[in-house]
Structure 1
């Protein structure tokens, strides 16, 4: 699948935040907040402070209906970053590098690699991705540069009613990925029994909501630095909104 030309807006960077809660279960996704598209960080209904995590956002990219790049940025609005763009956008995507995390026997997480926490029972590098379809696509959803893990609809004609089946494909480094975990409702049912992708990278889920749908793909891959982590965990969301009946 051909990669679109990306115009990436890098958000201001700084040192990783020193937080002491388990974070691998959290992810990022886009959702509407007061007529604006917001970037959410959390799990289930737990929306945490995404603004203080803005330094971890590596890129945010917007696209028009023809997948041409649209200049896009994130602006802090209270505890929520909202999307600003010069033109209407049909889709927006973001990449977050959540860094290295090590878990010690007492159950606490530390924002360091195993080389700095030798007693760690688990050490991982977390990457989080988000793609939001602000408008229903009229053609195939492309793979975005920098998104090592991405979930795309197999059929561009996304079902418009909850309860209908939807086939998606997981890609890792541009190739179909077997064995990826696919969740159909990360916001309302974060403990759901997920499905796995088959040999061709596809899985069929049921559209859960006549409103915001947040699908989540999860893959645990090889360590990018064996001296520091045991593995790399990737979480990639695909969100879209189904219309309700006219008021």
Structure 2
């Protein structure tokens, strides 16, 4: 993995700490559907329409064990968006610009900036990122293009059993993200309060599932356009599967 620079500026650190306890947003990850690798959008057990959100995907790529990109594509099959894995990638990654959203006092979210939503109590620009590991790599997971927020295992290989420790580092623009909120089981326990990364952006968790694991990090950064939003919400997922015992 590339070396990271110094920790974030104080303004970014403050933003990450102050706003990391906000309401949970939707995210996307990769999981098996009908024996295919599919892109899933939602939160917890809510598996929403990813097809209509496909135009919001800003980058997608597949890579081999050495981190070299291999040809692939996303394929729409009915209600599913699946990954072409003919070249047997070791991991895949995607990014999504989910746009600007403002919340009013009645709890409703509107796909507009606060300058267009009278009485908005919060407004943010949402970006989503996702990385899925299909098998072990020949080295550390690299920093990936398009992944402004990325969760990176500190050491290889991944644990083999649920309950074993896993040290992670959350990176924002390639730098450690202190105070990022980490949820260890996005699919089965999305309402957990989560844990916070340390000053070096790292955190050690216990792997939750002997099966699909979807770990999510949320990091809030300063608004790109303060006239329209109060903040930027970056949400990244890291997903992988621990194998079950032979049948």
Q: Please, what TM-score do these two structures have when normalized by structure 1?
A: 0.89
Which residue number corresponds to residue 54 of structure 2?
Answer: 54
Q: Relative to 1, partners in 2 of residues 1:98 and 1:65: Cα closer, same or farther, differing over 3 Å?
A: same
Cα distance in 2 for partners of 1:113, 1:72 equals 35
Which residue number corresponds to residue 230 of structure 1?
Answer: 230
Shift of 1:65: 1.6
Tell me which of the two structures has the higher relative contact order, counting C-alpha pairs closer than 8 angstroms and 6 or more residues apart.
Answer: 2
The answer as to whether partners of 2:210 and 2:241 remain within 8 angstroms in 1 is: yes
Which residue number corresponds to residue 141 of structure 1?
Answer: 141
Shift of 1:86: 4.7
Q: Relative to 1, partners in 2 of residues 1:106 and 1:191: Cα closer, same or farther, differing over 3 Å?
A: closer
The answer as to whether partners of 1:70 and 1:86 remain within 8 angstroms in 2 is: no
Cα distance in 2 for partners of 1:178, 1:80 equals 35
Shift of 1:85: 4.2
Unpaired segments ≥5 residues, structure 2: 4-22
Cα distance in 1 for partners of 2:194, 2:76 equals 33
Which residue number corresponds to residue 9 of structure 2?
Answer: none
Unpaired segments ≥5 residues, structure 1: 4-22
Cα distance in 2 for partners of 1:169, 1:236 equals 12
1:124 has 2:133 as partner? no
Counterparts of residues 146-185 of structure 1 (less than 5 Å) = 146-185=146-185
Alignment deviations for residues 23-61 of structure 1 (CA, whole Å, 9 cap, x no partner): 961100011112211000000011001011101111110
The answer as to whether partners of 1:24 and 1:126 remain within 8 angstroms in 2 is: no
Shift of 1:210: 0.6
The number of residues matched between the two structures is 228
The answer as to whether partners of 1:211 and 1:241 remain within 8 angstroms in 2 is: yes
Cα distance in 2 for partners of 1:134, 1:155 equals 16
Which residue number corresponds to residue 221 of structure 2?
Answer: 221
1:33 has 2:33 as partner? yes
CA-atom RMSD in angstroms: 1.4
Cα distance in 2 for partners of 1:223, 1:193 equals 24
Q: Which runs of 4+ in 1 moved over 3 A?
A: none
Cα distance in 1 for partners of 2:85, 2:165 equals 33
1:43 has 2:57 as partner? no
Which residue number corresponds to residue 99 of structure 2?
Answer: 99
Shift of 1:79: 1.5
Cα distance in 2 for partners of 1:174, 1:116 equals 33
Q: Please, what TM-score do these two structures have when normalized by structure 2?
A: 0.89
1:239 has 2:246 as partner? no
Alignment deviations for residues 97-119 of structure 1 (CA, whole Å, 9 cap, x no partner): 00000112222211111121132
Cα distance in 1 for partners of 2:195, 2:104 equals 30
